[in-house]
Amino acid sequence: MKQEPFRIAIAGLGTVGTGVVQLLRANASIIAARSGRPIEIAALCDRDKNRDRGFVASDYNWVDDVRTLPEMEGLDAIVELIGGADGIAFDLAKATLGKWIALITANKAMLAHHGLELAELAEKKGARIGYEASVGGGIPIIKSLREGLAANNSLSIHGILNGTCNYILTQMQKTGGDFGDILKEAQKAGFAEADPSFDIDGIDTAHKLTILAALAFNTQPDFKSVPTKGIRDVTGTDIKAAESFGYRIKLLAVAQRGEDGKITRSVEPCLVPEGSALGGVEGSNNAIMIEGDFVQKVTTIGRGAGRNATASAVVADIIDMARGDKAMFKPIFGVPSRELAKSDWGDPKERKGQYYLRMKATEAFSGKLDPVANVDGFNCGITGEMKQSELPAGAFSMRVEPL
């Protein structure tokens, strides 16, 4: 066993960073046994040293200026938990990799925007990026995709990747309340941010889908082109109508290879069968279904956010690297960045499928819906197989995902 400790610095002591320190303390002996060496917190870095975090800051080497971290002697990894696509986090990531130091991060925004640049830098320098915590919280989905299912050509990904949205949609279904009221309650209960746009407009989900699609299909991460729609326009009427047809409404991240070979990605509220694995995912849980050509469907469900679950994922990356992961061929997005395809993405509007429509009872298209139900004065129903581009212009529509 290598007895020299694996030395890390943690930058950003918010919720997740605090959880990582607490986890490394609480489970130190089992983590050392599984890593083959102890993990040493060589530095903690945050602007606010004095906040109550459940441990004594002065027990650690506290660094105020994050820019000095990559210059520290003898660091094996820097754990970036500052967040934000650009600015301090991105500067730290580049400086870390530039110094041959491994980077561990939960920063989906940064990876979605700059993943290719960081992967190229890491591979050029022979440094590593661990980002298990960036998608799915505690669910080890990055490892499952990159390693556990590596023998497969991916066919599709379907994910419930944002706990806030799933909590709101679940509450709307359980209480019959409307979006605005439930959002306010969720904000009071701490399940939604004061400015909830990032979550409820689907941006966070699109960041995560960008990462998963890159890994699953070995394409360049490309956030800007993800067609994204959030859950603001989903009404209590839709929830009731969907339920009466045997469906639940979920904000789904979807990436799938079409018959033309193109990969289509989308983030939008969809109807999923209530008896399906994803249909049963309630509250702030996350779930990801991967379909591979040999393994078929593998679905994983777990806590998609929160201090402890996310810390579990960050520390899994630390353990991997402490075990000697550096010596493995393990390119950031599954294959070397120069082999990542610059994808010619498919257009979700051209995907065939069934659609849920909510329309005024008088509209002519209503007659073509089956099943159909009159809910709250609207005609709500499900179309036959068609393209989104063929739907009537005025109606509110959501895709039906058979799963």
Which spans in 158-306 are helix H?
163-175, 179-189, 197-200, 203-217, 236-244
Site for a copy of itself in 34-93 (CB under 8 A): 34-37
- 150 or 386: CB nearest a copy of itself: 150
The contact pattern for a copy of itself, residues 119-158, with x = CB under 8 A and - = no contact, is: -------------x-----xxx--xx--xxxxxxx-----
Residue 151 or 386: the one with the smaller Cβ distance to a copy of itself is 151
Residue with Cβ nearer a copy of itself (141 or 372): 141
Q: Which is nearer to a copy of itself, 187 or 300 (CB)?
A: 300
Nearer to a copy of itself (CB atom), residue 299 or residue 388: 299
Q: Can you name the residues that pair with 41 across neighbouring β-strands?
A: 8
Which two structure tokens, joined as six digits, stand for 63? Answer: 């660094």
Question: Could you tell me the smallest distance in angstroms from the CB atom of residue 20 to a copy of itself?
Answer: 9
Nearer to a copy of itself, 40 or 325 (CB): 325
> Token pair for residue 344?
């010619």
Q: Is residue 184 within 8 Å of residue 192, measured between CB atoms?
A: no
Tell me the C-alpha distance between 146 and 352, whole Å: 29
Site for a copy of itself in 2-21 (CB under 8 A): 2, 19
Instruction: Tell me the closest approach of the beta carbon of residue 129 to a copy of itself, in angstroms.
Output: 16
Catalytic residue selected from 94, 208, 262, 342: 208
Concatenated DSSP letters of 28-96: HHHHHHHHTS-EEEEEEE-S-SSS--SS-GGGS-EES-GGGGGGSTT-SEEEE----SSTHHHHHHHHH
Largest CA distance in the chain: 75
CB of residue 135 to a copy of itself, shortest distance in Å: 13
Interface segment toward a copy of itself; rule CB under 8 A; list 30-38, 65-73, 99-107, 233-241 = 30-38
Residue for token pair 């060496």: 37
DSSP bridge partners of 9: 43, 78
* Sites for a copy of itself among residues 278-337 (CB under 8 A): 280, 292-303, 308-309, 311-313, 315-316, 318-320, 322-325, 327-331, 334-336
In the block, tokens 């298209």 appear at: 365
Is there binding between residue 388 and a copy of itself (CB under 8 A)?
Answer: no
What's the length of the chain? 403
Residue of 249, 286, 241, 245 whose CA lies nearest to 271: 249
Nearer to a copy of itself, 230 or 331 (CB): 331
Q: How many residues bind a copy of itself (CB under 8 A)?
A: 65
Q: Give dist(CA 195, CA 62) in Å, integer.
A: 31
The residue to which tokens 């909590």 are assigned: 167
Minimum distance between the CB of residue 386 and a copy of itself, rounded to whole angstroms?
30
Which token pair is 222? Answer: 């490309």
DSSP-derived 3-state class of residue 343: coil
Q: Is 171 in the site for a copy of itself (CB under 8 A)?
A: no
Stretch that binds a copy of itself, among 90-98, 248-256, 273-281, 360-368 (CB under 8 A): 273-281
Q: Is 220 in the site for a copy of itself (CB under 8 A)?
A: no
**Using an 8 Å Cβ cutoff, are 12 and 49 in contact?**
no
How far is residue 152's CA from residue 328's CA, in Å, rounded to a whole number? 20
**Cα–Cα distance for residue pair 199/191, rounded to 1 Å:** 11
Q: How far is the CB of 185 from a copy of itself (least distance, A)?
A: 23
208 is catalytic: yes
Residues in contact with a copy of itself by CB under 8 A are 1-2, 19, 23, 26-27, 30-31, 33-37, 132, 138-140, 143-144, 147-153, 218, 275, 277, 280, 292-303, 308-309, 311-313, 315-316, 318-320, 322-325, 327-331, 334-336, 339
Q: Which residues are the active-site residues? A: 208
